[in-house]
Chain A
Amino acid sequence: MQLHTREIADLLADESFIRFCKGGPREDVARWEEFCVASPANHALVDAAREQFLELFSVLAQADLVEQEARLLKHILPSDETLVVHLPKLIGNRRSRFMLRWAAIIIPLIALATGTWLYKKASISLVYKTSAGERKNFHLPDGSFVRLNASSSLRLGKGFSTASRDLYLEGEAYFDVKHDANAAFVVHTTSMDVRAVGTAFNVRSYADDDSTETVLINGVVEVTLKGQEERKVVLRPDHKIRWSAHEPAGLQATPRTETIPVTDVVRNSGGDIPETGWIHNKLIFENEPLSSIAVKLERWFGVQVVIADESVRNYRFTGTFEQEGLAEVLEVCRESRHFSYRITAGEHPVVTIF
């Protein structure tokens, strides 16, 4: 196959060949059938090239359908569901030639470590895990695709993929859900349950920050807030929601009536969405304080980061990294605002910033 790459590309570039793949006009079909008959090698080549074209076409067609379906859902959901919080902004992309994306629902959830959320009562059958500094792809038993970010674990509820599809996430993951109208796909976390409505999506939940943040890039999800089960939020593309499962101290007796903060996702100057860069192996800081960058570095590189000088904590940095190592990232940051650091190598490397 590898040897044929050049020739496959030749065929794909040929408009007559594409018409043939689509069963097009008789003269095109005749031409390529003749070509096939000429030699077994030709026949194999035509089969391989047609395979490539079909693959690509199917991918694009499915992605388009998912996107268009999400667009339709945006319009029919609000009138259909009760108790929906109407979000302030509709994304108007009627002429969205550039907008074809796999419906990706990006839901980073940052939750307090309670240790109790693991649903002891739920019988758990399968667990996927990543360690610090590691990102992995998995296929779930139902055919859905998962990309799991560092230091994360994803547990599947027992009986997954038959009657229901419940997952319990700690950490962060991108989900691409295989559609199944009979089995709802629900990701449970400390602060929110996220239900995919018909399409594909991505979820994350780390246990060491104090609020939950959900970002929806494309598609439709229905979010149920823990402690607020009567309120469901239907998120729309390019919106972000932040919520904490834990009531602020001293407010326990007060019903939580505050509005749920839904904001727009902002692309940075490079056109990336900071919240979802990790899917494409990008580590992105957008005017972010060093205190929060430290947490990202810990997960990304699998190290421990200690900030020894309090005055440095609030230094803010912006940057996008792809191939760079830990030291390179620190060096680049240091150029815009000076700080010192020390890396102690070993089985559990420690970075001390001061």
Chain B
Amino acid sequence: MSMDDDAHAWEGLCSGEKEALLLLYRKYYHALLFIGLKEIRDADVVKDAIQHLFLYLWDKRDCLEQARNVRSYLIIALLRKLSADWKKSVRHQHLALAWNGDADAPLPTPEEILISRQSQASAQSYLMLHINALPARQRELILLKFYEGLSYEEIVARTGLSYRTIYNKIHEALKKLRTVINKDHPAYGEVMSVLLIWLTMQV
């Protein structure tokens, strides 16, 4: 994906193409999330800010200026929003001024590079289906650790649970999950057994 694609998508957005907005959203969501998470260690706050940013772009699509560097524009707009001068910048300067310093745009985040977009999305979704079938607490723990990248201390602080409680809650369900997956989709049995052992070690 090049800057040309971005410029093209931006044009599409300005002329009201929903698909162009979604294209930019899909392309930059993870970059924005993980850059935001470096500033604020709360994924809910960052995700809300990203939503608001794109809804703002959609609402104002008729009067957006041309973007030279869409990535920088989005990142800087998000960081401004997160640092609470979002409203001020909108009121005084119009959003267009928010990205003039495009030379020092943040580099790709490690997390973006990790995400293998062309990998077997359909097979992965099966794994996700089963992760989603977990009770809320257990799913949350896996997300915090493996996706949002929180440390153990941060997880304990976030959930208010002790390691022991966490372990007790999830151990039994994961065992069951592994059985189900082994039966339906043996290739994922191993991932689940790794998870199970990982969790066992957190006591």
Interface residues of A, Cβ cutoff 8 Å to B: 1-2, 5-6, 8-10, 12-13, 15, 18, 21-24, 52-65, 68-69, 71-73, 75-76, 80, 94-98, 100-102, 104, 137, 139-140, 143-145, 147, 174, 176, 178-179, 181, 198, 200, 271, 279-281
> Which one, B70-78, B95-103, B127-135, is touching chain A?
B127-135
Closest chain-A Cβ to B136's Cβ sits at a distance in Å of: 4
Contact B143 A60 (CB under 8 A): yes
Q: A100 and B139 in contact (CB under 8 A), knowing A62-B121, A68-B50, A68-B51?
A: yes
> Which one, B86-94, B163-171, B195-203, is touching chain A?
B195-203
Contact B194 A59 (CB under 8 A): no
Q: A12 and B110 in contact (CB under 8 A), knowing A63-B128, A145-B125?
A: no
> Is B19 an interface residue, CB under 8 A from the partner?
yes
> Is B161 an interface residue, CB under 8 A from the partner?
no
A61 to chain B: closest residue by CB: B115
A56 to chain B: closest residue by CB: B146
Closest chain-B Cβ to A92's Cβ sits at a distance in Å of: 12
> Is B44 an interface residue, CB under 8 A from the partner?
yes
Interface centre among B25, B114, B122, B201 (most CB of A within 10 A): B122
Contact B198 A68 (CB under 8 A): no
A6→B195 CA distance, assembly (Å): 10
Which residues from B are CB-within-8-Å of A5? 190, 193-194, 197
Interface centre among A22, A95, A100 (most CB of B within 10 A): A100
Q: Mark B174-196, 1 if CB is under 8 A from A, else 0.
A: 00000010001100001101110
6 inter-chain pairs at a CB distance below 8 angstroms, sorted by A residue, are A1-B190, A12-B198, A55-B127, A59-B125, A104-B129, A280-B130
Contact B115 A58 (CB under 8 A): yes
Tally of chain B residues near chain A (CB < 8 A): 65
Since A9-B194, A18-B149 are in contact, a sample of 11 more A-B pairs with Cβ atoms closer than 8 Å, ordered by chain A residue number, is A5-B194, A5-B197, A53-B146, A58-B124, A60-B131, A62-B128, A69-B22, A102-B128, A104-B132, A143-B121, A178-B121
Of B44, B131, B185, the contact of A137 (CB 8 Å cutoff): B185
Closest chain-B Cβ to A190's Cβ sits at a distance in Å of: 27
Q: A65 and B132 in contact (CB under 8 A), knowing A5-B197, A281-B180?
A: no
Which residues from A are CB-within-8-Å of B50? 68
Which residues from B are CB-within-8-Å of A72? 22, 25, 51, 54-55
A18 to chain B: closest residue by CB: B149
Which residues from A are CB-within-8-Å of B128? 59-60, 62-63, 102
Of A1, A68, A147, the contact of B29 (CB 8 Å cutoff): A68
Contact A101 B132 (CB under 8 A): yes
Contact A100 B143 (CB under 8 A): yes
Of A8, A53, A76, the contact of B18 (CB 8 Å cutoff): A76
Which residues from A are CB-within-8-Å of B125? 59, 62-63, 102, 145, 176, 200
Q: A145 and B122 in contact (CB under 8 A), knowing A68-B47, A76-B55, A76-B58?
A: yes
Closest chain-A Cβ to B122's Cβ sits at a distance in Å of: 4
> Is B68 an interface residue, CB under 8 A from the partner?
no
> Is B104 an interface residue, CB under 8 A from the partner?
no
Q: A59 and B131 in contact (CB under 8 A), knowing A95-B44, A96-B44, A145-B123?
A: yes
Contact A181 B198 (CB under 8 A): no
Of A9, A64, A143, A280, the contact of B122 (CB 8 Å cutoff): A143
Interface centre among A2, A58, A59, A281 (most CB of B within 10 A): A59
Which residues from B are CB-within-8-Å of A21? 114
Which residues from A are CB-within-8-Å of B21? 76
Which residues from B are CB-within-8-Å of A179? 26
Closest chain-B Cβ to A133's Cβ sits at a distance in Å of: 15
B145 to chain A: closest residue by CB: A18
Contact A57 B123 (CB under 8 A): no
Contact A144 B48 (CB under 8 A): no
Interface centre among A68, A80, A94 (most CB of B within 10 A): A68
Contact A9 B54 (CB under 8 A): no
Q: A65 and B29 in contact (CB under 8 A), knowing A8-B194, A9-B198, A76-B21?
A: yes
Of B131, B139, B193, B202, the contact of A98 (CB 8 Å cutoff): B139
A51→B63 CA distance, assembly (Å): 45
Closest chain-A Cβ to B131's Cβ sits at a distance in Å of: 7
A5→B202 CA distance, assembly (Å): 16
Closest chain-B Cβ to A351's Cβ sits at a distance in Å of: 26
Which residues from A are CB-within-8-Å of B25? 69, 72
Interface centre among A5, A97, A179 (most CB of B within 10 A): A97
> Is B140 an interface residue, CB under 8 A from the partner?
yes
A53→B147 CA distance, assembly (Å): 10
A200→B128 CA distance, assembly (Å): 12
Contact B201 A13 (CB under 8 A): yes
B184 to chain A: closest residue by CB: A137
B136 to chain A: closest residue by CB: A98
> Is B111 an interface residue, CB under 8 A from the partner?
yes
Contact B146 A271 (CB under 8 A): no
Which residues from A are CB-within-8-Å of B64? none
